[in-house]
Amino acid sequence: MTTPDAAPQARRVLVAYASRSGATAEIAQWLAERLRSEGEALDVTVAEVSDALDPSGYDVVVLGSALYEGRWLRSASRFARRHRHDLDHAWVWTFSSGPLDDSASTCDIAATNSADRASRHLLARDHVTFGGRLAPDSRGWLAHAMVEGGHGGDFRDRARIDAYADQIAGELSMLPRHRRPAA
């Protein structure tokens, strides 16, 4: 008697994000939605980075953070530093979200130092900066002053976010399951 070939197991993908006011959390959801739409080959989970989040069971990690004063949020930088060895086997991509104008839609914005450091810790294959969002009712005196100064608005570009998810899915379809076999 022959048994049918087992279907290949879906890759486990973690989209992890650090967000203060929710805009980056939504970008993470959009990336996850698009990755899920690529078929059943990807089993996608979205989670906020925290000390309790353990990424070691995932085959793929997409890690992103909002930018504040030129830097990733501390929780995201710490996550990258802390899990650099747990993710030896995983394929990793990173993203930042911040610019409050259309610059991120019209050109490639280089990673800031902290985003670059995190990306290097995790040997990320690529990093992209997306536009950000500053809501008119943002809290905090600096955010409020920025809104008053005319910097409010939503500059997140869904087409660019979808394109990054498509890029990730396309590369994954050509890569072995793991970057390095588990020891």
Binding site for ligand FMN (CB under 6 A): 19-25, 66-70, 97-100, 132-134, 142-143, 146
Question: Shortest gap between Cβ of 114 and ligand FMN (angstroms)?
Answer: 10
Q: What is the rounded distance in angstroms from the CA atom of residue 164 to the CA atom of residue 30?
A: 11
Amino acid sitting at position 13: V
Q: Which is nearer to ligand FMN, 56 or 105 (CB)?
A: 105
Helix (H, G, I), strand (E, B) or coil at 16: strand
Question: Shortest gap between Cβ of 24 and ligand FMN (angstroms)?
Answer: 3
Q: Which is nearer to ligand FMN, 23 or 122 (CB)?
A: 23
> On the CB side of 135, how many CA atoms lie within 13 Å of its CA?
9
Question: Shortest gap between Cβ of 79 and ligand FMN (angstroms)?
Answer: 15
Q: What is the rounded distance in angstroms from the CA atom of residue 110 to the CA atom of residue 87?
A: 24
Write phi, then psi, for 88 (nearest 5 degrees): -50, -35
Q: Which is nearer to ligand FMN, 51 or 69 (CB)?
A: 69
Ordered DSSP codes for 37-57: TT-TTEEEEEEE--TT---TT
Q: Which is nearer to ligand FMN, 11 or 131 (CB)?
A: 131
Question: Shortest gap between Cβ of 102 and ligand FMN (angstroms)?
Answer: 12
